[in-house]
Structure 1
Amino acid sequence: MYVAVKGGEQAIARSLELLAEARRGDVAVPALELAQIREQLRLGVARVMQEGSLYDEELAALAIRQAAGDMLEAIFLLRAYRTTLPRFGYSQPLDTTAMRVRRRVSGTFKDIPGGQVLGPTYDYTQRLLDFDARQPAQVACADAPLPANMPRVLDLLDAEALIEPIEPGNDPEPIDLTREPLTFPADRAARLQNLARGDEGFLLGMAYSTQRGYAESHPFAGEIRMGEVDVWVCPEELGFAIEIGSITLTECQMINQFQGGNGVPPQFTRGYGLAMGEGERKAMAMALVDRALRCDELAESNDAPAQNQEFVLSHSDSVEASGFVQHLKLPHYVDFQAELSLLRTLAARHHEDTDDTPLCKHGGARP
């Protein structure tokens, strides 16, 4: 046993050496600087921050470099580091209405207060490899500064009482899923926390399923906005809120049909998504899944995968999913030998019971 353990340690040490060599690649090529990753791979950095549950562009860039571009591994690294950090308090609720917008579009109204702001997006590109992109691009300045604050598009429907109202400040204190385990049934605040750091690909698949008929949902993109939002905290020793900085967020509000019932008139309902950094696809998928998970609250049928909160929330975490799948690479020698022995016993018993011993051509049993 000691020899086996010693050999295993040596193999692991050599594997780590090979990993470092593979991560660095050809030493003739300049090494990646964190500033390059942070500035030029900003969407990857944003995803690592979202699913790593830690807003720090420098650390996210470091994780991406250490993981050699494997986003799930980078998310795991950032999530693991996050668990070592002390929590000294919680911020005040973010006021996304006061967002300093860099992108803001609506799929429901052509003309909206403040106008459509296309901002930085791949939506209008041809999805062709741009070989000229290897050269520095010429950056043009904006024609005019954008308004400091832009009213919400959904306020237009709210003014006519055509969409479910929101009563700010009346929600119960949400649990902290980084400190408390997820329990079912989960309230909407807990579900949104879970979805906010859920795997983008999984949520995208769930969101796509709702659009293909696996949920009673027909969505419209009410508003998608991206920009900077101030963060405020209220230290106990001061007794009043102070601004500690700003972060980039992407927010999406989906509009969905609702027939009404139980005294509620026919009206539109909302699905909500919020992602750290530039994460439009993540925020949209989150909003679609959030609305699907409200089926019980809105007395809708609950027979689609995206409407099953235990299925969605339990399988949306990329770190949990990656760890559970990849643990199959670890030694399972004892387990397999036990099942192999059992299978041999059952197979022998089966042959005895069916008396299917093969015969030779002369009629006797084969030796």
Structure 2
Amino acid sequence: MYVAVKGGEKAIEQAHALLAEERRGDVSVPELTVEQIEEQMGLAVDRVMNEGSLCDRRLAAIAVKQAQGDLAEAVFLLRAYRTTLPRIGFTQPLDTSAMHMRRRISATFKDLPGGQMLGPTYDYTHRLLDFSLERPRQGAKSLRVAQAPPEPAVGDASCPRVADLLAAEGLMAGDEDGDEEPGDMTRQPLAFPAERSVRLQALSRGDEGFLLSMAYSAQRGFGSSDHPFAGEIRMGEVALEMVPEELGFPVVIGEITVTECVMITPPGPSTKGEAPALTQGYGLAFGRSERKAMAMAIVDRTLCSRELGEKVAYPAQDEEFVLGHCDSLEASGFVQHLKLPHYVDFQSELVLLRDLRKDHREGHRIHDAIPN
């Protein structure tokens, strides 16, 4: 498909050298460290971890630095590195009910059992440029530690899930796929129709902007989630557990920060003869990734249309369209491959076009030669 370019290797080496200079920038300005990116650009790092499908803040920060802040390129770097890592085992399902919460809000209950915790959020800022950020702030870290909210006890029953409260009243539709062995799209190719566990995997590493657009389209009437309600959004640390073969019981190997979102949708017309019930969409993302988790939950509910007997009529309900196009790495690669040489292909198009134009001219001459 492609032809060699004379002197291409030397040109590529020079391009790499120039890229390194561009990345470093003005040498009179102190170089940005990986630690600074990890600590002060946390939301960008979290997005790269999610779409890169690898929960490692330092590796994600390195990718952000190497890509000059281009998050799509950073995702590519992290995803490529991930393929070199061996898989040593599987963790137990995350128990988010035992989360050490730093943020917990609900748009469905004002007096939520256990209370609401605003936590770190941009929701109430005025979106005005803060020019004081031009100057380093002294003592900011110690202030953050002093104001850190107390962590609830593990498994604190005073903070039940909103979905569990509604399910206890029989108002929430059951999760048909809850007890099935989850699929693994990193080991098996994506096939349609896809199980919900596979759909959630694809959405969790999908491009945030794409999922946001799909969720927006569903809310504007192009889906099954015209006006969902944020049942609950949680952000905090959860324990990771594994069951070593030599022990036979779970042990905690660490903890990670996650954002969890449950979107609740009012009941629509029943197509299975069942009593009306609320339905839910689910989103879970690494780190502080609230917008991603919310969009994921809305799209998850929309993609459940087939199981719920709803008519699949819009792009946000079409799992092949959504899952086949939500991956930022595939989308970026498919678009950017157009920069590579296509000389042979384009020349064949020119040959075809010239032949068509020749036939067109000859056809006109023949038409003009025929007497009326």
Per the normalisation by structure 1, the TM-score is 0.93
Q: CA deviation at 1:327?
A: 0.0
Could you tell me whether the CA contact under 8 Å between 1:48 and 1:74 is conserved in 2? Answer: yes
Alignment of 1:211-250 (within 5 A): 211-217=219-225, 218-250=227-259
**Counterpart for residue 280 of structure 2:** 270
Deviation per residue, 1:110-167 (Å, 9 max, x gap) = 1101111000000000111100123417526338624323211222212211111347
Could you tell me whether the CA contact under 8 Å between 2:182 and 2:198 is conserved in 1? Answer: yes
Deviation per residue, 1:84-133 (Å, 9 max, x gap) = 00001110000001000000000111110111100000000011110012
Give the secondary structure class of the aligned counterpart of 2:238: strand
**Counterpart for residue 30 of structure 1:** 30
Deviation per residue, 1:163-191 (Å, 9 max, x gap) = 113479x5221221112110000010000
Task: Indicate how the Cα distance of structure 1 residues 94 and 112 shifts in structure 2: closer, same or farther if over 3 A, else same.
Answer: same
Find the aligned partners of 1:197 and 1:152 in 2 and give their Cα distance: 25
Identity of counterpart residues, as a percentage? 63
Q: 1:296 aligns with which of 291, 299, 306?
A: 306
**Counterpart for residue 309 of structure 1:** 319
Find the aligned partners of 1:144 and 1:71 in 2 and give their Cα distance: 31
**Counterpart for residue 97 of structure 2:** 97
Q: Which amino acid aligns with 1:173?
A: E
The reply on whether 1:195 has 2:195 as its aligned counterpart is no
Alignment of 1:48-197 (within 5 A): 48-134=48-134, 135-136=136-137, 138=140, 139=143, 141-142=146-147, 145-148=150-153, 149=156, 150-166=159-175, 171-197=179-205
Deviation per residue, 1:192-221 (Å, 9 max, x gap) = 000000000000000000010001223000
Unaligned runs of 5+ in 2: none
Could you tell me whether the CA contact under 8 Å between 2:272 and 2:309 is conserved in 1? Answer: no
**Counterpart for residue 361 of structure 1:** none
Could you tell me whether the CA contact under 8 Å between 2:206 and 2:326 is conserved in 1? Answer: yes
Could you tell me whether the CA contact under 8 Å between 2:104 and 2:232 is conserved in 1? Answer: yes
Deviation per residue, 1:55-91 (Å, 9 max, x gap) = 0000000000000000000000000000000001110
Find the aligned partners of 1:110 and 1:143 in 2 and give their Cα distance: 23
Give the secondary structure class of the aligned counterpart of 2:253: strand
Find the aligned partners of 1:106 and 1:75 in 2 and give their Cα distance: 31
* Number of positions where the alignment pairs a residue of Structure 1 with one of Structure 2: 355
Find the aligned partners of 1:251 and 1:14 in 2 and give their Cα distance: 45
Report the RMSD for the aligned CA atoms in angstroms: 1.9
Could you tell me whether the CA contact under 8 Å between 1:351 and 1:357 is conserved in 2? Answer: no
Alignment of 1:40-55 (within 5 A): 40-55=40-55
Find the aligned partners of 2:347 and 2:279 in 1 and give their Cα distance: 55
Could you tell me whether the CA contact under 8 Å between 1:114 and 1:147 is conserved in 2? Answer: no
Q: Which amino acid aligns with 1:98?
A: A
The reply on whether 1:209 has 2:217 as its aligned counterpart is yes
Find the aligned partners of 2:366 and 2:70 in 1 and give their Cα distance: 53
Unaligned runs of 5+ in 1: 359-367
**Counterpart for residue 363 of structure 1:** none
Give the secondary structure class of the aligned counterpart of 1:273: strand
Q: CA deviation at 1:315?
A: 0.2
**Which stretch shifts more, 78-87 or 5-14?**
5-14
Give the secondary structure class of the aligned counterpart of 2:254: strand
**Counterpart for residue 353 of structure 2:** 343
Could you tell me whether the CA contact under 8 Å between 2:99 and 2:238 is conserved in 1? Answer: yes
Give the secondary structure class of the aligned counterpart of 1:26: coil
Give the secondary structure class of the aligned counterpart of 1:274: strand
Could you tell me whether the CA contact under 8 Å between 1:92 and 1:231 is conserved in 2? Answer: yes
**Which stretch shifts more, 201-210 or 108-117?**
108-117
Q: Which amino acid aligns with 1:214?
A: F
Task: Indicate how the Cα distance of structure 1 residues 313 and 31 shifts in structure 2: closer, same or farther if over 3 A, else same.
Answer: same
Per the normalisation by structure 2, the TM-score is 0.92
Find the aligned partners of 2:91 and 2:115 in 1 and give their Cα distance: 31
Could you tell me whether the CA contact under 8 Å between 1:106 and 1:116 is conserved in 2? Answer: yes
Find the aligned partners of 1:355 and 1:245 in 2 and give their Cα distance: 80
